[in-house]
């Protein structure tokens, strides 16, 4: 597969999809996470239990939903409940993965989707939390999906919409969040990052096809942890792209 045969959105979707294991539960947000979940169900995770904010649990994503409360998030679902039940399910520890986006992210995985600039007099007013705070607070492992540039990867977010590791080791637990939960991966157009087990700072794990470590560093507004061995992600396969284009998003609503 030629590295020029896919666009950045398709790369994000395929990279995120590969992080959705079979026989697991995943809280799915609007946009790229929905496409990634649908692709995962069709490729390698037929038993992925999708969970949507407005109550759809276990839906089969044959057709692409337009939003997290739309009827297709209940298609062939095992449960049709409501937002309070879903949040309680996360609080009880039954949701393994949570997929999130945001306008800003910092070295400890704190996400901002509320404002750019001062809260009371912002430069930009963003959509806000929705269920993002609950996802980041209670799902066992959260995965952020973002485009990668210095405006988004910042030393300090303007507002913490979704808690990551807050100020570092032990800070989540001190704030009353469940032990053992927290950020797991960050999937971007340039790389896939994780978090150092001791410092909880973001750590480069793999570069995307055609991207160098130097390019990742140049487009990150804080110091990344760079291990000795950085892997290189494989580009989307022909089968992934075929399913994505012909079955998941055949109307090209996102790609």
Domain containing residue 42: CATH number: 3.40.1080.10
- 255 is a domain residue: no
Question: How far apart (Å, rounded) are the C-alpha atoms in residues 17 and 24?
Answer: 13
- 1 is a domain residue: no
Query: What's the confidence (pLDDT) of residue 68?
Result: 84
Query: What's the confidence (pLDDT) of residue 150?
Result: 96
Q: Which listed residue (53, 96, 246, 247) is catalytic?
A: 53
- 217 is a domain residue: yes
Query: What's the confidence (pLDDT) of residue 227?
Result: 96
Question: How far apart (Å, rounded) are the C-alpha atoms in residues 118 and 73?
Answer: 36
- 2 is a domain residue: no
The length of the chain, given as a count of residues:
255
- 188 is a domain residue: yes
Question: Structural domain of residue 154, as residue ranges?
Answer: 8-248
Q: Is the pTM of this model over 0.85?
A: yes
Structural domains counted in the chain: 1
Cβ neighbours of residue 18 closer than 8 Å, sequence gap 6 or more: 40, 44
- 143 is a domain residue: yes
Q: Is 214 a catalytic residue?
A: no
Q: Tell me the pLDDT of the chain (255 aa) as tens digits.
A: 444 589 999 999 999 999 999 999 999 988 899 999 999 999 999 999 999 999 999 999 988 888 888 899 999 999 999 989 999 999 999 999 999 989 999 999 999 999 999 999 989 998 888 889 999 999 999 999 999 999 999 999 999 999 999 999 999 999 999 999 999 999 999 999 999 999 999 999 999 999 999 999 999 999 999 999 999 999 999 999 999 999 999 989 888
- 253 is a domain residue: no
Query: What's the confidence (pLDDT) of residue 4?
Result: 54
Question: How far apart (Å, rounded) are the C-alpha atoms in residues 223 and 107?
Answer: 8
- 100 is a domain residue: yes
């Amino acid at each position: 597969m030629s590295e020029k045969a896919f666009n950045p959105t398709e790369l994000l979707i395929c990279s995120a999809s590969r992080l959705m294991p079979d026989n697991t539960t995943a809280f799915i947000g609007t946009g790229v996470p929905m496409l990634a979940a649908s692709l995962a169900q069709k490729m390698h995770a037929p038993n992925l239990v999708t969970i949507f904010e407005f109550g759809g649990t276990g839906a089969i994503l044959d057709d692409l939903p337009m939003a997290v409360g739309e009827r297709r998030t209940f298609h062939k679902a095992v449960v049709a409940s409501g937002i309070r039940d879903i949040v309680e399910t996360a609080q009880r520890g039954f949701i393994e993965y949570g997929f999130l986006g945001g306008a800003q992210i910092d070295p400890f995985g704190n996400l901002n989707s509320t404002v750019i600039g001062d809260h009371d007099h912002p430069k930009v007013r963003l959509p806000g939390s929705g269920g993002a705070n609950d996802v980041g607070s209670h799902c066992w492992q959260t995965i952020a999906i973002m485009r990668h540039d210095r405006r988004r990867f910042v030393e300090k977010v303007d507002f913490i919409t979704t808690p990551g590791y807050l100020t570092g080791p032990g800070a989540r637990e001190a704030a009353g969040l469940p032990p053992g939960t927290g950020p797991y991966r960050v999937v971007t157009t340039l790389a896939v990052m994780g978090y150092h087990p001791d410092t909880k700072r973001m750590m480069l794990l793999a570069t995307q096809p055609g991207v160098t470590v130097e390019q990742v560093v140049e487009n990150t507004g804080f110091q990344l942890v760079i291990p000795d061995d950085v892997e290189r992600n494989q580009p989307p396969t022909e089968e992934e792209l075929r399913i994505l284009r012909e079955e998941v998003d055949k109307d090209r609503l996102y790609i």
